[in-house]
Chain A
């Protein structure tokens, strides 16, 4: 159903499910969700992209970090409908043709995870960093993942992965 338009031209949508067009990992998709649905739940429940993790659901832990228009955001604090026609990138979009993204490769090589639950969020934060700071220092990486908790305590290796990913050639 198309959105109803009130007399001043504002689009009123919901409360029942509406079609929302997103670009997810380079593909145009339409999800049918209530306007109340978070981007996190839409990715996981509607699109089956469960690499993005749901942990705190209050913007504290960073496990749900995705990129919207290239910027890292907490997808649990973002409504799916607010991303209409925006570019969403998740962990699933990084590897190309069976080749890991340089940041993913760096995480493997530096042993930057234990349980792995926070890893997709950590990786997305570092991917965003490398686009603006291609050769980050340790401090750059620490600031980039300041909003991504790792309860296993793999931080030293996460930081090392971020620094070494900056030295890798992009495939």
Chain B
């Protein structure tokens, strides 16, 4: 059984004969999968499109990620469940879900299973989702406004990320989450960079905005780049990815530290 959501990945495989599934289950009209519930905790149904996330994402970083994706046509079709289902390291919502410490909700005839995002992806386009399981939602705790997503690519629209970075500073819970995309077999959480950032917020005070020093921002960028496991591929070299991650890490910290 092959699940068809927005079709932005699967239809390409079908049109070029790379996959010939016997059965396709189209879920784009399943209303139960298209809801967004928010009450301090966000439950985003797998069928929520990127266009919907622009207006109501339950996360600033997720809204920014949705804005970077494709074009209006792609955003009208593609869904968060599809991004999770494809599980590409370049999936733009995935670094955000990692940084938010989101939970992936899977359902089968046997029942529901809740998988922390950190355990969900196992490799490029590989996840712990079993063939009999449907992704029904992603859930996370609302983390406040201090969060951002950024990526580098050949152009802003219609391009696959060469490297992407999400940063979430949950001031209320004193938590920093960073997710790196397109620079390893799975989405990477740079633990040393997160710890360094926590130290900066301990010092500056979690509750109020501050302007990090240039050397602190640079050090964060260095720690982010050191955690990446990038490869050379058609989109960019490993060296360029590390460089871009260092720049984005520094920039993301400077941006979110000033938001409270």
Contact = CB atoms under 8 A, between A and B. Distances in A.
Interface of A: 10, 12, 35-36, 38, 57-60, 62, 65, 71-74, 76-79, 81-82, 125, 128, 143-144, 146-148
A59 B8 contact: yes
B70 A38 contact: no
A73 B15 contact: no
B158 A147 contact: yes
B11 A60 contact: no
Contacts of A81: 26
Contacts of B72: 71-72, 125, 128, 143-144, 146-147
Contacts of A128: 72
Interface string B13-37: 0111000000111101100000000
Most buried by B among A73, A125, A148: A73
Interface in B129-149: none
A74 B12 contact: no
B77 A146 contact: no
A146 B71 contact: yes
Given A146-B71, A146-B156, A77 B16 contact: no
A107 to B, nearest CB: 18
Interface in B24-74: 24-26, 28-29, 51, 70-74
Contacts, number: 72
A155 B209 CA distance: 42
A62 B11 contact: no
B7 interface: yes
B24 A59 contact: no
Given A72-B72, A79-B26, A36 B14 contact: yes
B108 interface: no
A78 B74 contact: no
Contact of A147 (B4, B23, B29, B157): B157
A147 B75 CA distance: 10
Contacts of A79: 4, 7, 11, 26
B76 interface: yes
Given A35-B24, A59-B8, A76 B15 contact: yes
A59 B156 contact: no
B74 A59 contact: yes
B76 A72 contact: yes
Q: Interface residues of A: mostly helix, strand, loop or mixed?
A: mixed
A65 B73 contact: yes
A74 B77 contact: yes
Given A72-B73, A77-B12, A125-B72, 14 more contacts: A38-B11, A58-B12, A58-B16, A59-B8, A59-B12, A60-B158, A71-B72, A74-B74, A76-B11, A77-B77, A82-B29, A146-B158, A147-B70, A147-B71
B158 A38 contact: no
Nearest to A78: B7
A73 B73 contact: yes
B26 A62 contact: no
Contacts of B6: 77
Most buried by A among B4, B51, B72, B158: B72
16 contacts: A12-B23, A59-B8, A60-B158, A65-B73, A73-B73, A76-B15, A78-B77, A79-B7, A81-B26, A82-B26, A82-B28, A146-B72, A146-B156, A146-B158, A147-B158, A148-B71
B201 to A, nearest CB: 34
A148 B72 CA distance: 10
Contact of A58 (B15, B76, B77, B156): B15
Nearest to B10: A77
Given A36-B14, A146-B156, A147-B157, A59 B26 contact: no
Contacts of B23: 12
Nearest to A125: B72
Most buried by B among A58, A72, A77, A81: A77
Contacts of A76: 11, 15
